[in-house]
Amino acid sequence: MKKNINFSKGFLPCAIISLAIIVFGVVGFFTKGINFGIDYKPGHIEEIRVATPVAELSYSGDAKVTIDLSSSKLEVVISGASVTNETKSYEFVEYPTVQSLASAVCQIQGVKMTVKDGSFDSTKLFMNSAVTNQLSETVTYLYPLGASSVSIDDVRNALAGVNGISIKQLGEGADVSYQIRVGVSEGSEQASVLNSINDKLYSKFGKESVAIVKTDFIGSSSSKSNTLKSIIMLALTLLLIWIYAAFRFHWDFALGSIIALLHDTCIMITFICWTQLEFSATVLAAVLTIIGYSINATVVILDRVRYNLKYMPEAKNFKEILNKALSDTLVRSILTTATTLFAVVSLYVFTTGSIKDFALAMIVGLISGMYSSIFISSGFIALCRKNWKPEYGVHHSAKTAAKATE
């Protein structure tokens, strides 16, 4: 016969510990605040790569010449009143190196392609997205993927002194890019801040070596809308879970479930405040995922409690029934959490950027979810049913038991 663990002894100490952590979180909220990402505050986001160009393209003539670079080919579109409109496509299967590509492209009248590293693989080229793809006498650079030797500390040093900026590394090794986020309002301030950022990068690494992979701006109206949607989503999720739990179980079971979910949310916010983990849409997704995970773990325990209420006539008090249910589901709770943690820890170790943030938030939430389903929700229900007697059966009190038999 499986030995029952006296979990009820830990209800009060765990409640005190959780309350202390939440109070610590409240202090962190008012002293450090939440590090909202670009999704929740107006600002600019820019992804850059730092690499030495392997080729330079330019054009002198009357035609309009534009280029389109992909991982499989380079297309050159020629148009204008004085020329024959045509598109020349250079498949990298046929032109595998930068040197072979340059030899072909230079056959176009007026186009010049200067090669710095002719042996480089053509399929691993990229362009600066902030620069127009129309060729002119001003040089357009082609950059190599996987050839960066710049660290995130180098980028941080280059941008030292820019207020409200955050820098995140994307990728690993030589194939790395850096995401730069800065809170800024629309208008002249935006242009001024962006110019300041780019000037600092150009000064540190050289203008020709800094390639902007992509850029975006989130306005104040969009950030406010995202914040409101997130609050509504979180509130609606808790409401639907409350309705489900109240329909399936008694009111105290339902309220205990919601308290556990609020507990997990508070624990995650505490962690986010004190670590200054960027609160983005991805981290919100982690919070919502943990809410779903936590309610599932709690429902398994509550189902077992309801079963024991029917089939443990020898029980003398509710804590005995609760301890039996927790003991019966303990292995399941541990294995479920452990296997999920294994996958999430792998995400944290082997990914970067927002996925790494998601994984870190999930790790905290998973541990908190298992803890709250055992000690927080169960402790609250035990408190509500401290006067329970065996003759009440599945009901909360003598009054509700009497109503059920009428």
DSSP string, 346-357: HHHHH--HHHHH
383 alpha carbon, distance to own chain's centre: 37
Q: The tokens of 238 are what?
A: 């808790």
pLDDT of 303 over the 50 cut: yes
- Burial (CB < 10 A; 0-12, 13-18, 19+), residue 117, is middle
Question: Smallest Cα–Cα separation from 65: which of 141, 132, 114?
Answer: 132
Average pLDDT of the chain to the nearest whole number: 82
- pLDDT at position 406: 46
Q: Which residues pair with 15 in a beta bridge?
A: none
Query: Each residue of 226-240: pLDDT tens digit?
Result: 667 777 877 887 788
Cβ atoms of 170 and 176 within 8 Å: the answer is yes
pLDDT of 404 over the 50 cut: no
pLDDT of 188 over the 80 cut: no
Question: Using 50, 70 and 90 to split pLDDT, how confident is the model at 181?
Answer: confident
> Which one has a higher pLDDT value, 7 or 352?
7
Question: Using 50, 70 and 90 to split pLDDT, how confident is the model at 170?
Answer: confident
Q: The tokens of 324 are what?
A: 């039996």
Locate all alpha helices (DSSP H) within 51-135, ordered by sequence: 98-105
What is the pairing mode between strands 165-172 and 175-183? antiparallel
Question: Is 213 in a helix, a strand, or coil?
Answer: strand
Q: For residue 128, give Cα distances in angstroms to 56, 111, 317, 393.
A: 12, 19, 71, 71
Q: The tokens of 183 are what?
A: 């809170």
pLDDT of 19 over the 90 cut: yes
Spell out the domain ranges in the chain: 7-40+222-405, 43-218
Please state the CATH superfamily assignment of the domain spanning residues 7-40+222-405 in this structure: Multidrug efflux transporter AcrB transmembrane domain (1.20.1640.10)
pLDDT of 274 over the 90 cut: yes
pLDDT of 291 over the 70 cut: yes
pLDDT of 363 over the 90 cut: yes
d(CA 91, CA 101): 9
pLDDT of 346 over the 60 cut: yes
Question: Using 50, 70 and 90 to split pLDDT, how confident is the model at 399?
Answer: very low
Q: Which residues pair with 171 in a beta bridge?
A: 176
Query: Each residue of 380-397: pLDDT tens digit?
Result: 888 888 776 655 555 444
Query: Each residue of 117-169: pLDDT tens digit?
Result: 878 888 888 888 777 788 888 888 888 887 777 888 888 888 887 777 778 88
Beta strand extents in 97-183 (DSSP E only):
111-115, 125-127, 140-144, 165-172, 175-183
- Burial (CB < 10 A; 0-12, 13-18, 19+), residue 245, is buried
- Burial (CB < 10 A; 0-12, 13-18, 19+), residue 259, is middle
Question: Using 50, 70 and 90 to split pLDDT, how confident is the model at 402?
Answer: very low
DSSP assignment, residue 14? Answer: H
